[in-house]
Chain A
């Protein structure tokens, strides 16, 4: 079949969800719920089909030509000038990386759209929900298909917007709105770094005579930045790729919830659960990982930047996992687990094993979406209760939810033959074997953190499974009565996702396990920076040892969970009483939120108040004083005018008048008057003479 037409029609992929937004946004309120849901879902499905066509066409091309671009028009052009030419096309590109991302995004999104029809059916704002959801898919597709950093950024902020809209979806509760605002602002802090990084990249390349922000062109000329350094105040000279790489990663810590900007993600669970599944687990939060993969040619120039990524994210993986151990809110557990798993993906990127990072991104999309949808199904049954202390025993009442949830749990902890096993193992072994010329201990450190975290993950995930599905139900009676399995429109997506949570791993089975690692072969052309690096020799023996070590730790984690939550339910209490401080620290998430609040938020708030005072009393005070002074001066000059200037005039006038009257009196012809005047004058003359 001739598929090359897709070369010119890549814009169809984001167009469909955009149409969904327009149709449902303007006419949805007049339509039936079924119609609205169907339109929204079908638009994403069409998008998936178009992506699939593009994918088929892509693999029909020879490996070195697997990239094509559809240009719509010149987006921004500021004219030709020697001082800099900014010319960015509005164009989409499709290559193996975009393909993996777009396929995952559209496929998982489609399932979640379908699930949402059931989940949101009774919601007052059904239409609004689907408009937002379609808008999200549109933004996400712009992000993964955009052919320039700037267009990527459009999607990047676009998904941030949708995240805000969906977290604060039930806006009548201020708690949800606060969570949404927090997400947006924290992401903006990240975007601030991202923007500066992007602009620096533009100018540094520009200084070398290359004016561009499109990926292919940056890739072509990125070597020009090899020996460029940028002088920073206080710090001194920093290699340009390092600085730019770290700034872009700063953006990624916002979007992908890494230290120090991960704080918004746990709160983001305030949104409807399908949103948590789609946006805050499967797709949007992975965009930072995608971005690093997309910019791998830049990171290839800076081992320092890669080391920073590896260190920060492995710490994130560890700390988030420790927090997850103590939470009781099911969705919070999953949220911290997401932060932790994103940390794994970044470890893969940070040790330049890009395929493993993207691989884990993909498998995680399935099993984490499944976990969230499963928790949504539980909430649906439990009348929106999320506290695991009130759950228990749901295994029998919700078999499909239970089994699919269990499969996802097995996948996330890395049980052999489940998808997570292959992808997580890939990351850990890559980290173990990786070298970093700038910070040599970074990859091993990342591996160690990832290794420990694997055990913790097993513990907290099974803790969740046991607390939710096993034992006796601890909910109040009236809720207990209503517990039921969810309708097929919700369970079918669960089943499909469960299937993928198992089989998705088989596209990337490593050679050491007798696989062909298809995904790696497929993605390899994108990782241009790896072409110059010699394949590191991996000892199979060491690799198997690592695998067994990890699995042992995972096993221990599961057992501890079993011991503490099934066999000896009083055990957790004991541990808590033994380490009350540590427990409190973990339970309160290391007080990071409180610290941020006390410093940044309270500081800004105070500053705004001070500045307003300054504005009203000082600046405007001066203005009003000037005005007051003007009026005073006018008053004084008015007084002077009236009493001095005018006074003199009046005086003169009065004198004339008076003289006139006097003279007139003189001329009245009164003898007496003449006499008096005569005497008066005489006296006057005499006086003057005497004096």
Chain B
């Protein structure tokens, strides 16, 4: 059995499985370009088949990924631009494996969530596929330059998907998203170049983490100031990533982007894109600047708590259904920040698991908003009411998603939230107690939303709305499956990641190597 497993792993490595998963959607985009624009069904089917293949292969890789090991797996490394020592270097470890799974799942779901798109179908789906490739690339890249390329590549389709297929203020939202993220990217670019020269001209993330101690590097002189090298670069990168999370006070692009984005794009945005922020911090900040990480841990926790409480309270005051969910994302990403700052096994595992869980749960939330928006053509929470009577199945699915988001025990959110708070309580007791009040506010705004949309007397205007259809149920059931299963068997994810997360703690606290 062991031998067979080894054989399969070898085979998977040999066929460059990670690259296959990553570039299958790109291939789909290329194919879609050659399909006549009026053949909507064919275009959609091609997208579904290819992202489905990515999903399937992603699951296979996930199954054969050895969670007990801290080393990189399914590694591929080729020279790409030798002159600048740039490699095409990809692989997965405990940090990226769950994000890989999340991305293929959410992308697949988003294809079906896009089934109702009728306008410029060809362009839409080729951009969507391009987006999937870019997202997957970010999570498997081990060369900073490659990482940066995928990171930027992601912006392009996102910009157009919001800017063309979005709501009335789509251009404002798209530009805001684009500029905000670009500002982060600029900081990242500077830090990357600084690292390149400081690290003996390499973009290799593994090498940068293992071979150098940047805390002893000569300081940077800038505008007459002397800045410690590691802390400065840490901050530059951190802000770049924090914008993506989004961390208070860099968060206002998110509600706008969500409100204008089509449903499927919101699903991807909240489900996957936000995780890239915290992933980047784990992958780059934590491993390359361990000392600076410890130095800034408290600040990260403070911002985490602000995100949790502020996000929840502002969510409570929203009148737009989608904006409310967007702020709830901000609140939940705060839990990730708080957990990751704890630098202990519970906090770190909790944070990574929360990234996965929030990805699946928030996908359900946005899908749910999409269902009602498609039917009622507005999202004003005060203009619904009593829909549970008219759309009972839809109400049930939405309630399920809401309770998962509330961190109800028995569903996945509880495990990761509890772990994050548990880990943080040891290190930041007062902060954690403040942050944990979030569980009360979260219950508050979610229950209130359920009431405003589904309960009370039925708004007669909506007495003819059809209930959720099979396709919509399917899109919610897939992430819902994870929300339920992980509630009772979180080892599905923790079993793959916990060994690596403990290793990552060692890297940060003891300066251990990859």
A506 on the interface (CB 8 Å rule)? no
A386 on the interface (CB 8 Å rule)? no
Pairwise interchain contact A171-B455, C-beta atoms closer than 8 A: yes
With a CB–CB cut-off of 8 A, which chain A residues contact B430?
233
Q: Which of B180, B344, B389 contacts A84 (CB 8 A)?
A: B344
With a CB–CB cut-off of 8 A, which chain B residues contact A164?
447
In the bound complex, CA of A83 to CA of B505 (Å): 9
With a CB–CB cut-off of 8 A, which chain A residues contact B455?
168, 171-172, 174, 177
With a CB–CB cut-off of 8 A, which chain A residues contact B457?
172-173
With a CB–CB cut-off of 8 A, which chain A residues contact B249?
619, 622
What class of interface size applies to chain A in its complex with B?
A: 35 or more
Pairwise interchain contact A161-B403, C-beta atoms closer than 8 A: yes
B408 on the interface (CB 8 Å rule)? yes
In the bound complex, CA of A345 to CA of B440 (Å): 28
Q: Which of A90, A178, A199, A608 contacts B317 (CB 8 A)?
A: A608
In the bound complex, CA of A203 to CA of B421 (Å): 12
Q: Which of B310, B386, B403, B436 contacts A196 (CB 8 A)?
A: B436
B179 on the interface (CB 8 Å rule)? yes
Stretch at the interface among A187-195, A323-331, A422-430, A667-675: A187-195
With a CB–CB cut-off of 8 A, which chain A residues contact B349?
78-79
Pairwise interchain contact B494-A76, C-beta atoms closer than 8 A: yes
Closest to B399 in A: A165
Known: A172-B386, A611-B314. A192 touches B437 (CB 8 A): yes
Pairwise interchain contact B318-A612, C-beta atoms closer than 8 A: yes
Pairwise interchain contact A174-B451, C-beta atoms closer than 8 A: yes
B501 on the interface (CB 8 Å rule)? yes
Please, what's the 1-or-0 string for B408-426, where 1 marks a CB less than 8 Å from any CB in chain A?
A: 1110001100110111011
Stretch at the interface among A151-159, A305-313, A376-384: A151-159
With a CB–CB cut-off of 8 A, which chain B residues contact A615?
252, 314
B84 on the interface (CB 8 Å rule)? no
In the bound complex, CA of A85 to CA of B422 (Å): 12
With a CB–CB cut-off of 8 A, which chain B residues contact A80?
502
In the bound complex, CA of A153 to CA of B176 (Å): 43
B65 on the interface (CB 8 Å rule)? no
Pairwise interchain contact B436-A84, C-beta atoms closer than 8 A: no
Please, what's the 1-or-0 string for A188-210, where 1 marks a CB less than 8 Å from any CB in chain B?
A: 11011001100110110000000
Closest to A600 in B: B440
Pairwise interchain contact B458-A81, C-beta atoms closer than 8 A: no
The interface centre, meaning the residue of A73, A153, A173, A607 with most chain B CB atoms within 10 A of its CB, is A607
Closest to B498 in A: A79
B307 to chain A: closest CB distance in Å?
12
The interface centre, meaning the residue of B346, B408, B441, B505 with most chain A CB atoms within 10 A of its CB, is B346
Q: Which of A79, A172, A622 contacts B345 (CB 8 A)?
A: A79
B499 to chain A: closest CB distance in Å?
6
Q: Which of A79, A83, A85, A177 contacts B451 (CB 8 A)?
A: A177
A441 to chain B: closest CB distance in Å?
31
B168 on the interface (CB 8 Å rule)? no
B53 on the interface (CB 8 Å rule)? no
Known: A83-B344, A192-B437, A203-B425. A172 touches B456 (CB 8 A): yes
In the bound complex, CA of A86 to CA of B443 (Å): 26
B296 on the interface (CB 8 Å rule)? no
In the bound complex, CA of A185 to CA of B447 (Å): 9
Pairwise interchain contact B490-A181, C-beta atoms closer than 8 A: no
B261 on the interface (CB 8 Å rule)? no
Known: A79-B349, A195-B436, A199-B421. A188 touches B443 (CB 8 A): yes
With a CB–CB cut-off of 8 A, which chain B residues contact A85?
345
B439 on the interface (CB 8 Å rule)? yes
Known: A86-B345, A174-B456. A154 touches B443 (CB 8 A): no
B489 to chain A: closest CB distance in Å?
7
With a CB–CB cut-off of 8 A, which chain A residues contact B389?
172
Closest to A150 in B: B418
Pairwise interchain contact A171-B456, C-beta atoms closer than 8 A: yes
Q: Which of A79, A90, A156, A604 contacts B502 (CB 8 A)?
A: A79
In the bound complex, CA of A164 to CA of B433 (Å): 25
With a CB–CB cut-off of 8 A, which chain A residues contact B219?
none
Closest to A154 in B: B409
Pairwise interchain contact B418-A78, C-beta atoms closer than 8 A: no
A623 on the interface (CB 8 Å rule)? yes
B511 on the interface (CB 8 Å rule)? no
B106 on the interface (CB 8 Å rule)? no
Closest to B350 in A: A78
A577 on the interface (CB 8 Å rule)? no
In the bound complex, CA of A417 to CA of B249 (Å): 68
With a CB–CB cut-off of 8 A, which chain A residues contact B419?
76, 78, 86
A603 to chain B: closest CB distance in Å?
11
Q: Which of B437-463 contact A (CB under 8 A)?
A: 437, 439-441, 443-444, 447-448, 451, 454-458
Pairwise interchain contact B443-A185, C-beta atoms closer than 8 A: yes
In the bound complex, CA of A612 to CA of B253 (Å): 15
A664 on the interface (CB 8 Å rule)? no
A539 on the interface (CB 8 Å rule)? no
B488 on the interface (CB 8 Å rule)? yes
Please, what's the 1-or-0 string for B448-480, where 1 marks a CB less than 8 Å from any CB in chain A?
A: 100100111110000000000000000000000
Pairwise interchain contact A78-B454, C-beta atoms closer than 8 A: no
Pairwise interchain contact A83-B345, C-beta atoms closer than 8 A: yes
Pairwise interchain contact B436-A612, C-beta atoms closer than 8 A: no
Pairwise interchain contact A158-B409, C-beta atoms closer than 8 A: yes
B71 on the interface (CB 8 Å rule)? no
A184 on the interface (CB 8 Å rule)? yes
B165 to chain A: closest CB distance in Å?
23
Pairwise interchain contact B415-A181, C-beta atoms closer than 8 A: no
What 9 pairs between A and B have smallest CB-CB spacing? A79-B498, A154-B409, A612-B317, A608-B317, A171-B455, A620-B252, A78-B345, A608-B316, A78-B349
A-B contact pairs, 13 of them (CB 8 A): A73-B491, A79-B494, A79-B499, A81-B502, A84-B426, A86-B345, A161-B403, A164-B447, A171-B388, A172-B389, A181-B451, A192-B440, A202-B422
**Which residues of B pack against A, CB within 8 Å?**
176, 179-180, 248-249, 251-253, 310, 313-314, 316-318, 343-346, 349-350, 386, 388-389, 403, 408-410, 414-415, 418-419, 421-423, 425-426, 430, 433, 436-437, 439-441, 443-444, 447-448, 451, 454-458, 488-491, 494-495, 498-499, 501-502, 505
Given A74-B491, A203-B426, A623-B253, 13 additional A-B pairs, CB 8 A: A77-B494, A78-B501, A84-B346, A90-B488, A150-B418, A171-B388, A172-B455, A188-B443, A192-B437, A195-B436, A608-B313, A622-B249, A623-B252
